[in-house]
Amino acid sequence: MHYIEKEEVISLLDMPGCVPLMRDVLMDYCAGRVIQPLRSVMPIDPRRLLGMMPSANLATGIAGVKVLSVFLDNFQKGLPSHQGTVILFDAENGRLKALLDADAITGIRTAAVSAAATDALARPDAHTLCILGSGLQAHRHLEAIRLVRDLREVRVWDVFPDSVQRYKTEMEAKFGIPVVDCSQNVRAAVEGADIVCTVTSAKEPILFGAHVSPGTHINAVGACGAAVRELDTEAVRKGRLFCDSRESCMNEAGDLLIPLKKGELKEDHLLGEIGLVLSGQLPGRTSAEDITIFESQGLAAEDLAAASYVYSKYGQP
């Protein structure tokens, strides 16, 4: 058994390899090849959680569990919001193969999933990316989405202007794509953007339907609980809504559950799972004017696929 630390995971889990890997996992999930109960979450308080996410993929012969803490205010302390371990087993004989750093895997696979969804749902000519939030996922989402669309401009908003400035400096140096600081005006960041990614720890909406232009694709990533949301009701109402897991979305996605509870939307507004779009079984974007939304809650099967990929490159039998 091996423990693969954060830096090793980051060096081995390359984004160009992870994006198609996540596309395959999402299709496996919809095809019934994945066993995955709803994750178990124990709140310590509203901003601090302990979670356990088991899964097995019958198509790839891997099984395991991600155990992690989610402390949403850690960003302000210079610490990761998600910390923990992915435990990887052999599904054939039950052998414990490896423990891997969960923060690194979560950071990379989450953005890779958004890139797979973006490739399926965004307009082919989309070139302006708006990111709401400037933490780890903001970095990873730019890295991933630039692989599936020809980005010419990135707009970034955050409640912490200093963080946006650091992001601008780092990302322009790394990728050579102009980054516009929109920390003073979220509307200016969103209006006219082709792709919008919400990657914050917000409890109340920061993306408003009144600001979203026709043809936009939205990746809703940050809100991970039934009582919190990043999108207001109008933003959700205007979009063709897809998710990674219907079960997860109907239990954990405040972006949808809050307006459902208020009677502002109906359950059939959720059109289906992105894996069905990727496999061609469900229409995604139907016109250039459509607003599309991918509601990302995260699947343990994604973590295990990424862990197995890292393990195979780690050089172990």
Query: What H or E segment, with its residue span, contains residue 179?
Result: strand 179-181
Structurally, the chain folds into a number of domains equal to 2
- State the chain's mean pLDDT as an integer: 95
| Residue 196 within any structural domain of the chain | yes
User: CATH code at 221?
Assistant: 3.40.50.720
- Please give the chain's pLDDT, 317 residues, in tens: 799 999 999 999 999 999 999 999 999 999 999 999 999 989 898 788 899 999 999 989 999 999 999 887 887 787 877 789 999 998 889 999 999 999 999 999 999 999 999 999 999 999 999 999 999 999 999 999 999 999 999 999 999 999 999 999 999 999 999 999 999 899 999 999 999 999 998 999 999 999 999 999 999 999 888 999 999 999 999 999 999 999 999 999 999 999 999 999 999 999 999 999 999 999 999 999 999 999 999 999 999 999 999 999 996 44
In the chain, which residue ranges form alpha helices assigned H by DSSP? 6-12, 15-30, 102-121, 136-145, 161-175, 186-190, 233-238, 246-252, 254-261, 274-278, 300-313
Same domain as 97, residue 177: no
Statement to judge: residues 132 and 247 lie in one domain: yes
Residue 170 lies in a domain: yes
Q: Same domain, yes or no, for 160 and 181?
A: yes
Instruction: Give residue-wise pLDDT tens across range 42-54.
Output: 989 878 889 999 9
Q: How much is the pLDDT for 315?
A: 67
- The verdict on 93 and 144 lying in the same domain is no
Range(s) of the domain holding residue 20:
2-106+300-313
Q: Phi, psi at residue 170, to the nearest 5°?
A: -70, -45
Domain containing residue 25: CATH number: 3.30.1780.10
Same domain, 99 and 242: no
Asked if residue 32 and residue 153 are part of one domain, the reply reads no
Among residues 98, 79, 95, which one has the least CA distance to residue 87? 98
Q: Is residue 59 domain-resident?
A: yes
Task: Report the DSSP beta bridge partners of residue 98.
Answer: 2, 88
pLDDT in tens, 15-71: 999 999 999 999 999 999 999 999 998 989 878 889 999 999 998 999 999 999 988
Are 80 and 129 found together in one domain? no
